[in-house]
Structure 1
Amino acid sequence: MYTSVLSFPANVFTDFDWLRRELNDVFGMADRAPTGIRAVAPGTYPALNVGQTPQSVEIYAFAPGLDASKLDVNLDRGVLTISGERSPTLPEAPQGTAEAADKVTVYTRERTHGRFQRAISLPDDVDPERVQAHYRDGVLHISVARREEAQPRRIAVQ
């Protein structure tokens, strides 16, 4: 049932891998590791949905509570970069009291703050001259049109 601690294992790396999996199960960290080449760790900000149509590539970045003027969207050599900064928010002291803002005690802070940046590699057939970005209700929607020559077209058979 239990292997002897005194015996030398046949493969040390196999035992370390087993120990890592056991610790992940115990501490619930199995869901935190990226699972694929395009996966990112949970908590990466902002969360993205990326899809495509025959006419465009559509990117949705979920970034509530930001000022649209503080968001930067750049497209350079097929890589779309979204960056900005989210300021920290603290509870305010009650109105009419002499307490200063530095006297507010924070028990937990689960909302991340600070600078952020996400980069998305786009297909080769996108047109960097036809990009639209709109921020509304905490969602940044970026639409990158595909080049006309990359559009599907119907060919008449004679």
Structure 2
Amino acid sequence: MYRSLFPRDVFAEMDRLQRDLQQAFDLSPSIRGFARQGFPALNVGGTPTSIEIYAFAPGVDPATLEVSLERGLLSIAGERKSVLPPAEAKASVHINERFDGKFRRALSMPEDADPDGVQASLRDGVLHVTVKRRAAAQPRRIAVQ
């Protein structure tokens, strides 16, 4: 009797296929971000003096990253190389859920974002972008006399 090293269950394969198809056409948010164009996953927040963006991009070479702010649109672009063996190696890949290739994410910035006050750093696979707010737009306390 022949037994495969990786037994295949027809119903499990059908379930996987259904999830893959649903993910391909689903535009609702999930744990991995949006089904399409969801890499890198983002956290965006703010303080009275800045807008803080965290892009989770493990395995991305800092030399391939490009961060730009133009006309109120912050763009994060780059490329993550594949860690799979090349096709000529004739290796079998059983599961490949990691994204590789070129990516671009764009965020609309508020009116008080200062294009001259943008800083970006990459540490442990997390890109941290800080966009300063213009001083005129920051709240200030006015003394009553």
TM superposition score normalised by structure 1 = 0.69
Aligned to 1:41: 34
Return the letter of the residue paired with 2:34: A
Q: Secondary structure of 1:149's partner?
A: helix
Aligned to 1:88: 82
Distance 1:114 1:65 in 2: 11
Distance 2:107 2:65 in 1: 16
Distance 2:76 2:27 in 1: 23
Q: Secondary structure of 1:33's partner?
A: coil
Matched, 1:60 2:47: no
The C-alpha deviation readout for 1:80-114, integer Å capped at 9, x for no partner, is 0000011111159xxxxxxx962222122111111
Return the letter of the residue paired with 2:113: V
Structure 2 residue corresponding to 1:69, chosen from 41, 52, 63? 63
The offset of 1:33, in angstroms, is: 3.0
Structure 1 residue runs without a partner (length 5+) = 1-26, 93-99
The offset of 1:58, in angstroms, is: 0.5
Q: How many residues of Structure 1 are paired with residues of Structure 2 in the alignment?
A: 120
Distance 2:68 2:115 in 1: 10
Question: How large is the RMSD of aligned CA atoms in angstroms?
Answer: 2.2
Q: Which one has a bigger Cα radius of gyration?
A: 1
Q: Secondary structure of 1:106's partner?
A: coil
Distance 2:47 2:28 in 1: 26
Distance 2:77 2:129 in 1: 13
Matches within 5 A, 1:1-158: 29=22, 32-34=26-28, 41-42=34-35, 44-91=38-85, 102-158=89-145
Q: Secondary structure of 2:89's partner?
A: helix
Distance 1:42 1:62 in 2: 16
4+ aligned runs moved over 6 Å, structure 1: none
Distance 2:27 2:64 in 1: 30
Return the letter of the residue paired with 1:68: P
Q: Secondary structure of 1:69's partner?
A: helix
Percent sequence identity over aligned pairs: 54
Q: Secondary structure of 2:136's partner?
A: helix
Distance 1:104 1:66 in 2: 24
